[in-house]
Chains A and B, each alone.
Chain A
Amino acid sequence: NAGVTQTPKFQVLKTGQSMTLQCAQDMNHEYMSWYRQDPGMGLRLIHYSVGAGITDQGEVPNGYNVSRSTTEDFPLRLLSAAPSQTSVYFCASSYWEKGSPLHFGNGTRLTVT
């Protein structure tokens, strides 16, 4: 059971470039989300989805797009990378019921120069 898989593990971008961070889960979880983790800021929610075809914004959505065409996949797109988007990005998933534990991927470390 692979759980939550994120690719790539590391990425360096130049300002203005675009890219997609991939996230896939094999646990048939309805809920998927993207967080960024920055020193001194903790984990902040970027976007989330409660099922295929449904997405919504979290606390810090600006500069990011998401889509959910299947239950398994939830890619995060950076439209025009900025140095402020240098961070570690985590994808997470869970069942939708209240009280279901959240499962995290191992993260993507992104540097924007």
Chain B
Amino acid sequence: KQEVTQIPAALSVPEGENLVLNCSFTDSAIYNLQWFRQDPGKGLTSLLLIQSSQREQTSGRLNASLDKSSGRSTLYIAASQPGDSATYLCAVNSGGGADGLTFGKGTHLIIQP
């Protein structure tokens, strides 16, 4: 059974810093990996989706990388802003369809002004 771990569980950094969030998974036979953002009291918003054949994806100040062989993904946030404060979750798709998603428990990120 696929297991997804996110470290750290919580992170607080001053505004302007570059930071890295980590996601590891136990079974490297995946179709894709998706990073989400969740604001308090809200649903999840998809940030980046990396297919198993890709090494990274970029959107604005966000860059996600994928190393399938080692079972790891990182989400890099450049020049962090207070508006980036949220919980970030990664989800690994092992089954092909969306029912094959396994979620990590998230990293709660606080950017101090």
Interface residues of A (CB under 8 A from B): 4, 31, 33, 40-43, 45, 48, 50, 56, 58, 90, 92, 94, 96, 98-107
Contacts and interface: CB of A to CB of B under 8 A. Distances in A.
A58 B97 CA distance: 12
A101 B34 contact: yes
B45 A104 contact: yes
Contact of A42 (B43, B51, B93, B103): B103
A104 B42 CA distance: 9
Interface in B86-106: 89, 91, 93, 96-99, 101, 103-106
A66 B1 CA distance: 25
Contacts of B44: 90, 92, 102, 104
B80 interface: no
Contacts, number: 62
Interface in B48-97: 49, 51, 89, 91, 93, 96-97
Contact of B43 (A58, A99, A106): A106
Size band of the B side of the interface? 20 to 34
B32 A48 contact: no
Given A98-B31, A98-B93, A106-B42, A33 B105 contact: no
A48 B99 contact: yes
Contacts of B31: 98-99
A58 B105 CA distance: 18
A90 B43 CA distance: 7
B4 to A, nearest CB: 8
A108 to B, nearest CB: 10
B101 to A, nearest CB: 7
